[in-house]
Amino acid sequence: MDPRPLSYWWGRAVYGAVAGVLFAFLLVFLLRTLFGFEPLWEGGVYGGVAGLIGGIGFLWGIGCFDFWLGWAKGADISVEDHSFHGATNWRHYFRLNTDHKVIGIQYLAMTLFFMLWGGLMALLIRTELAAPGQQFADGETFNGFLSMHATLMIFVFAVPVFGGIANFALPIMLGAKDMAFPRLNALSLWFLPVAGGLFLSSMFTGMFGAAWTAYPPLASQGTMGQTLFELGVQFAGASSIATAINFLATIITMRAPGMTIWRMPILAWATGVTSVLVVFATPFVAGSQFLTMFDRVMGTHFFAPDQGGDVVMYQHIFWFYSHPAVYIMLLPGFGIISEVIATFARKPLFGYRAMAFSLVAIAVLGFGVWAHHMFVSGMAAWLRVPMMITTIIIAIPTGVKMWSWLATLWQGKIHMKTPMLWALGFLFTFLMGGLSGVFLGVVPIDIQVSDTYFVTAHLHYVLYGGTVYTVFAGLYYWFPKMTGKMYSERLGQWHFWLTFVGTQLTFLPMHWQGLQGMPRRVADYDPRFATVNAIETLGSYMLAIATFIFFYNVITSWKSGPKAPWNPWRGKTLEWLVSSPPPIFNFDAIPQVVGGPYQYGIPDARHAVVFAPEEFGGELKEDTRYPVLVVANQTLVSQTLIDEIRSRDADGLWSFQFVVPVGDDDRSIAERRLATTLAILAGHGVAATGRIVEGDVVDVATEAATEAVPHELVLVTLPLTQGAWMRADVVDKIRKATGVPMSHVVVPADDARAITGASTLPMVMVVAGEAVGAEALATAVRARADAAPARFTIVLALDLSEPRWGAEATERRRTAGVAMTATVNALVSTGVAVEGQVMDDAPSVALPLAITAFAPAQIIVAGVNGEADALAGAVQEAAGDTPVEIVDVGTVAGS
């Protein structure tokens, strides 16, 4: 690690920025004097050059160019120099860093900081609009607020924020050790504070007021702030392009062995496609801002009609970037949502290839729709209809995605964790925005509602749904991976619901308002809009409170949240196969990808295998597996528990140790359950050991976790009100006492009885007659179960006489059912995997049928009162080679 303190780097950065600004002033002054420009003082010119050189000075000071300058000077530097890589304390997050994980978090912190500023501007806008008339801001100031709001939100929040998430997650998901160009990555990051700083510094030089679109001729007037805006966009654009090239190089050249493009997570597809958009579209916004800047600073006449200039040309160039930019702000979000929905619905992503192709289709079509922003601009009229058609066609690939997400949810096992809530909120909110987008794509409607609040409603539904919701989904999803801590689920849910209600309150009425004709970007309005505006202002305050909760949650959880396990969501992609937070170069061993990324619910499916370093050779060995402690008692043998263990085992990283706490209840029951569970798991090839410990669950779990510290503690219980030891505070108590990352799996009571998971155990068919319902039969079965784990089916042949629909037959079936249920319950509650089967036919007909159907490994004939021989006779022939054991369970009274 580089030993120089933060004060050194930031001192240098301030020095670089100030020196740059002073140098720029001097340079411009000298040049203007030399060439005799009048007047000598021209704020925009000085401001523009100062912003540019000062920005570069800052980048130099913070250290972005040190490596390259050192190389150019021939200094002793090495590409193997990792002294700026990784973070071991908080200070490393506040200086230049080349680790993609640190950069990702820096990106997120920085963009969220700008989001706070942009949000503050939104609150000022909404407060001014809370009532008709002027509250505290005149028209000019109001323009400043809304321009600043949109500029910060778009250029330094919505566009780069995905760079943060992808920077963190993508290299790990691809199985790479870092991005392709870590130093370029750092440079891209540090462009952002320069861009945001230029935007914000315009508050001191007169705020720019031409909105984020900065149309001339409005943008050709105005204060020095407008020049700083144009410069800031250049820095933000340079950041985007550099990151995008870096992402593409990473995705194309740095995938792990076996990671074919059709095995990449959708987030990689989305980031790749977005990066192509960025690389080929962003130069257009750079071009448009160069032209307006030259008009302002150099006195050219690009947008002066009387000098042969053309203002509509600006809009064409600007929207040729800024429409694709909408997809730049959405597509990575689509990727995040695909990850989250598949993981929390526990189902393979529906239509993986369609998902990938629709991303590509959206991007390609996105280049052909720009003029739909200009239907009322006076552009060439023939462009309208083609642009309308392409615009509406984009709804098709978007619809493919929407339906694929819904189809993924369909019949999934949906876990309503915070990331999933955001994903579902996204589906609704983005759908609203998408639909009003189709409206707006239609020329006559667009002409009618242009520059009204209908457009404001549309874009906020799109960007709130497509950007804000997806970013939050991603933040909560990867928060455990980024920080190694779990966030507070309760606060997360509060954050979601307040934001969701706030979003609808703020933006839903705007549709109506716009259709009624209230123009956007105006500080005052007709009194008849007073009520809706008041509601919207209220909604925006709700959003502010929700955001406050989010930051509180993030800060407290990162500081003192419970430790996160490697894979809290049971995700399949590669980032969940490394620790939380991941080691400095992500993988201690090279991962080998062997399957698709979303094979949820497919037994034993694996996305990747982590190989040990070459000198150790091959796949991780059993003894190199990390121990996972499973604490359970009543839920042993349940399908949920077996599935849970098997899905973890598919990672290939864990060995499982069961600890079964027993209290006053019968120890033999716990032993039987444990033996059965271990046998089932062994049948699935899962290595597990187990022991029974007497005592309270908290004490037992704590003791076991301190003896040998496990990687993770999995507590499996019945729901809160049903379990023997499940109290509300058990999870927290164990967590506090052990300090080990913990997962809590809740098994529904019905499921705890199910034995379908026992399919790997040998099937024992118990043929019984009148013994069904008697304790003696249960005892006999238990004795067999204790001898060797097995699953049982008790078969009772009723031998009903004709007709079988009469009252007598019904009554006999009912009695037999009650008796069978009693026996099965008695056995299940003592840990035996058993089912009952009542058949109508005589034993000689029914039992051979049953033998064919169940294909048992062993048959036990349990007869009472001397019926055993008759029953045995009925099974003898059909049994064939299957061993048949005859057990006399004695006499049963009353039969």
Partner 1 sequence: MATTAGHGHAGHDDGAHGAAPAHGRSPLLLSMLLFIGSEVMLFASLFTAYFFIRYGVPNETWPPLKADGEPFELPVVMTLVNTLFLVMSSFTLWWGEQRLAAGDNKGLIRGLWVTIFLGATFLLIQLNEYAHLGFTPQDRAFSGAFYTLTGFHGMHVLVGLIILSMCLRRAYKRDFSTAYHTPLTAGSYYWHFVDIVWVLLFLLVYVI
Binding site for partner 1 (CB under 8 A): 67-68, 71-72, 78-80, 82, 85, 98, 175-178, 180-183, 241, 244-246, 248-250, 252-257, 279-284, 286-288, 290-291, 294-295, 298-302, 304, 307-310, 312-313, 316-317, 320, 585, 587, 590-591
Cβ nearer to partner 1, comparing 324 with 434: 324
Q: Are the CB atoms for 813 and 838 separated by under 8 Å?
A: yes
Identify whether the C-beta of residue 839 lies closer than 8 Å to the C-beta of residue 798.
yes
Q: Provide, rounded to whole angstroms, the least separation between the CB of residue 590 and partner 1.
A: 5
Rounded to the nearest 10°, the torsion over CA 128, 129, 133, 135 is -20
Q: Indicate the helix (H) or strand (E) that contains 676.
A: helix 667-683
**Is the CB of 131 or the CB of 304 nearer to partner 1?**
304
Q: How far is the CB of 43 from partner 1 (least distance, A)?
A: 18
> With respect to partner 1, which residue has the nearer C-beta, 206 or 283?
283
Q: Show Cβ contacts of residue 889 under 8 Å, excluding neighbours closer than 6 positions.
A: 771, 774, 776, 777, 779, 780, 862, 863, 864
- Pick the closer one to partner 1 by CB: 304 or 393: 304
**Which is nearer to partner 1, 279 or 534 (by Cβ)?**
279
Given the complex with partner 1, which of 177 and 753 has the nearer CB atom? 177
> Nearer Cβ to partner 1, position 299 or 873?
299
Q: CA-CA-CA-CA torsion for 469, 282, 202, 146, nearest 10 degrees?
A: -40
Q: How far is the CB of 307 from partner 1 (least distance, A)?
A: 5
Q: How far is the CB of 107 from partner 1 (least distance, A)?
A: 18
Minimum Å distance from CB 238 to partner 1?
10
Minimum distance from residue 342 beta carbon to partner 1 (Å): 25
Long-range contacts formed by 208-211: CB under 8 A, 24+ apart: 208/144, 208/147, 208/148, 208/151, 209/140, 209/143, 209/144, 209/147, 210/143, 210/147, 211/143, 211/146, 211/147, 211/150, 211/521
| Cα distance between residue 752 and residue 749, in whole Å | 5
The span from the CA of 745 to the CA of 717, in Å, is 6
Q: How far is CA 625 from CA 41, 52, 691, in A?
A: 71, 54, 19
DSSP-derived letter for residue 331 is H
- The length of the chain in residues reads 895
Minimum CB separation of residue 360 from partner 1 in Å reads 16
Nearer to partner 1, 249 or 822 (CB): 249
Main-chain phi, psi angles of 277, to 5 degrees: -55, -45
First to last CA, the chain: 84
How many Å apart are CA 271 and CA 596, to the nearest integer? 18
The phi, psi pair for 776, rounded to 5°, reads -60, -40
- Find the shortest distance in angstroms from Cβ 37 to partner 1: 11
Minimal distance in Å, beta carbon 277 to partner 1? Answer: 11
Nearer of residues 257 and 527 to partner 1, judged by Cβ: 257
657 and 627 Cβ atoms separated by less than 8 Å: yes
Q: How far is the CB of 157 from partner 1 (least distance, A)?
A: 23
Written as six digits, the tokens of 530 are 């007073």
- Residue nearer to partner 1 on the CB measure, 85 or 347: 85
Closest CA to 275 of 351, 337, 335: 335
HEC string for 545-600: HHHHHHHHHHHHHHHHCCECCCCCCCCCCHHHHCCCCCCCCCCCCCEEECCCCCCC
State in angstroms the smallest separation of the CB of 180 from partner 1.
Answer: 4
- CB nearer partner 1, residue 147 or residue 282: 282
Taking the least distance from each CB to partner 1, the nearer of 277 and 819 is: 277
Cα atoms in the Cβ-side hemisphere of radius 13 Å centred on 875: 32
Give 730-733 contacts, CB < 8 A, sequence gap 24+.
730/697, 730/698, 733/698
**Tokens describing residue 796:** 């009772």
User: Which residue, 271 or 499, is less far from partner 1 as judged by CB?
Assistant: 271
CA–CA distance, 566 with 581 (Å, rounded to integer) = 8
Task: Provide the minimum distance between the beta carbon of 182 and partner 1 in the complex, in angstroms, as a whole number.
Answer: 5
Minimum CB distance to partner 1, residue 176 (Å): 6
